[in-house]
């Protein structure tokens, strides 16, 4: 069976995707800050700031899935944090590409994460498809552009099938963002952010990982795909649904935008703004969502929390 190399394998998406790949019989290896080749999932060392990488991992890789990247929602976007956000995505992809260019082995596919933030931190009635350009030239949009450009270097310079998956807000019991919304809701103080009228594109972790799996197995898939549920929902509607599924009241006043900007700075735009994101392109490949509605996705995650 094929060997799949993951960067960012220890993160929420990487761990669940690794499990799914191994359940299907794939051999999975990670690039990591620590070398531990005898682990259940063998780990090979890399250090992108120093341009160092263990070529043994790349020699084995039939497919590379690039998930590495500093957490966007962790801390304010200081100048240093912004540099870390960009370099942990872009420089890592470039290190992979430049190393593989020196090798005879070529992967069959390079599959990279991206984010729906590509379209800009913006609220409108427009439904964004993969053909659309960003509505705002903000930091998140510029970062996604650089991220995707680095990924498509594999296609342009090596002729490797390349897939970029623009990911929406992930619902799962492991999701830090979801847990931050769930905690106050369980105490009866869940509330919309800002006006609450901004759209909140989302996807359940299981659907996201199944889309990655489809990208691995379906050789006809290439280019950019949005990974967002087919349901359009505002932030206020999402929070109301969360309160309903946790059987809690929903009457708390909206959280003022200025408070979020005070604590989060520029990063607050990720939750104060949002537009509708089309999932039609991935649906047209034959993909069927396990969790097409917010209610079902939240129910599944709450069940997982109870069982864990």
Instruction: Give the pairing of strands 52-53 and 43-47.
Output: antiparallel
HSE-CB at 127 with a 13 A cutoff on CA atoms is 10
Per the CB < 8 A criterion, the answer to whether 76 and 267 are in contact is: yes
Q: CA-CA distances (angstroms) from residue 47 to 12, 31, 33, 133, 153?
A: 21, 9, 7, 33, 20
Give the CATH number for residue 260.
Answer: 3.40.50.720
Euclidean distance between CA atoms 307 and 135, whole angstroms: 41
Euclidean distance between CA atoms 4 and 27, whole angstroms: 6
Query: What are 234-263's pLDDT values in tens digits?
Result: 999 999 999 999 999 887 788 989 888 888
Per the CB < 8 A criterion, the answer to whether 185 and 245 are in contact is: no
Query: What are 58-93's pLDDT values in tens digits?
Result: 999 999 999 999 999 887 899 999 999 999 999 999
Per the CB < 8 A criterion, the answer to whether 297 and 202 are in contact is: yes
Domain range enclosing 14: 3-307
Residue 214 has a pLDDT of: 98
Number of folded domains in the chain?
Answer: 1
User: End-to-end distance of the chain based on CA atoms, in angstroms?
Assistant: 31
Euclidean distance between CA atoms 201 and 146, whole angstroms: 22
Buried b (16+ CB within 10 A) or exposed e, 43-58: bbbbebeeeebbeebb
Euclidean distance between CA atoms 103 and 60, whole angstroms: 12
Euclidean distance between CA atoms 256 and 218, whole angstroms: 45
> What is the pTM (predicted TM-score) of this model?
0.95
Query: What are 134-165's pLDDT values in tens digits?
Result: 988 899 999 999 999 999 999 999 999 999 99
Give percent of the chain with pLDDT exceeding 90: 84
Query: Measuring CA to CA, which residue among 201, 205, 179, 302 is closest to residue 244?
Result: 302
């Amino acid at each position: 069976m094929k060997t799949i190399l993951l960067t960012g394998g220890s993160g929420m998406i990487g761990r669940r995707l690794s499990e799914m790949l191994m359940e299907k019989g794939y051999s999975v290896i990670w690039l990591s800050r620590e070398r531990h080749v005898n682990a259940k999932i063998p780990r090979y060392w890399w250090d992108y700031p120093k341009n160092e990488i263990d070529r043994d991992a790349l020699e084995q890789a039939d497919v590379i899935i690039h998930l590495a990247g500093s957490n966007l929602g962790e801390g304010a976007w200081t100048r240093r944090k912004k540099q870390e956000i960009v370099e942990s995505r872009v420089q890592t992809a470039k290190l992979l590409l430049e190393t593989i260019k020196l090798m005879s082995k070529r992967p069959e596919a390079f599959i990279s994460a991206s984010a729906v933030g590509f379209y800009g931190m913006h609220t409108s009635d427009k439904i964004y498809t993969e053909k659309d350009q960003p509505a705002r030239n903000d930091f998140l949009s510029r970062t996604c552009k650089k991220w995707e450009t680095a990924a498509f270097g594999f296609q342009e310079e090596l002729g490797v099938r390349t897939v970029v998956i623009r990911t929406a807000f992930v619902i799962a019991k492991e999701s830090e963002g979801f847990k931050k919304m769930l905690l106050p809701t369980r105490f009866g103080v869940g509330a919309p952010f800002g006006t609450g009228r901004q759209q909140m594109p989302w996807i359940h972790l299981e659907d996201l990982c199944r889309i990655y799996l489809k990208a691995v197995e379906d050789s006809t898939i290439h280019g950019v795909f949005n990974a967002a549920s087919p349901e359009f929902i505002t932030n206020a509607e999402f929070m109301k649904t969360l309160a309903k599924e946790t059987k809690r009241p929903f009457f708390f006043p909206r959280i003022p935008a200025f408070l979020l900007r005070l604590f989060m700075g520029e990063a607050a735009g990720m939750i104060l703004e949002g537009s509708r994101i089309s999932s039609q392109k991935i649906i047209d490949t034959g993909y069927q969502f396990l969790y097409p509605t917010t209610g079902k996705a939240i129910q599944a995650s709450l069940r997982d929390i109870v069982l864990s």
